[in-house]
């Protein structure tokens, strides 16, 4: 790895950036975050917003995003119990990056 002599720091890929890309780059994760940018949603709404993903995988990804602090889960008492998912402050801060990625995809990833 090269070292920038002016800063005395490695010039390779930032480990924080790499960890973030690995997290949000997992299959379906970007789509889930994109759907939640629109506002809080229940599980069934998310499943409909991200067609083609199994309920099991959606559940797994939501747990991962919750454990990473990007998604919050609110349980409403009652019968049946209702669970609403929303972005945390950290998750919401991804909004501009996701918006830019959507714009890039529209320009460069033609169907």
Chunked into runs of 10 residues, the chain (111 residues) has average pLDDT values of 54 89 93 96 95 95 97 93 96 95 89 64
> Of 89, 92, 83, 38, whose CA–CA distance to 62 is shortest?
83
**β-sheet bridge partners, residue 42:** 84
- Rounded CA-CA distance 43/3 in Å is 47
Q: Is residue 70 part of a domain?
A: yes
Is residue 40 situated within a structural domain?
yes
Q: Which domain CATH number covers 94?
A: 1.10.10.10
Q: How many domains does the chain have?
A: 1
For residues 58 and 31, what is the distance between their CA atoms, to the nearest angstrom?
A: 10
Specify if 2 maps to a domain.
Answer: no
pTM across the whole model: 0.83
Give the number of C-alpha atoms closer than 13 A to the C-alpha of residue 37, restricted to the C-beta side: 15
The DSSP code for 42 is E
Q: Give the domain range for residue 24.
A: 13-108
Query: 3-class DSSP state for residue 34?
Result: helix
């Amino acid at each position: 790895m090269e070292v920038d002599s002016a800063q005395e720091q490695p010039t390779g890929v930032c480990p924080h950036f790499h960890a973030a890309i690995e997290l949000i780059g997992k299959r379906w994760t970007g789509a889930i975050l994109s759907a939640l940018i629109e506002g809080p949603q229940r599980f069934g709404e998310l499943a409909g917003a991200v067609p083609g993903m199994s309920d099991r995988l959606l559940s797994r990804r939501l747990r991962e995003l919750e454990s990473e602090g990007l998604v919050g889960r609110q349980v409403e008492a009652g019968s049946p119990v209702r669970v609403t998912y929303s972005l945390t402050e950290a998750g919401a801060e991804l909004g501009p990056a996701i918006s830019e990625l959507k714009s890039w995809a529209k320009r460069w990833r033609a169907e």
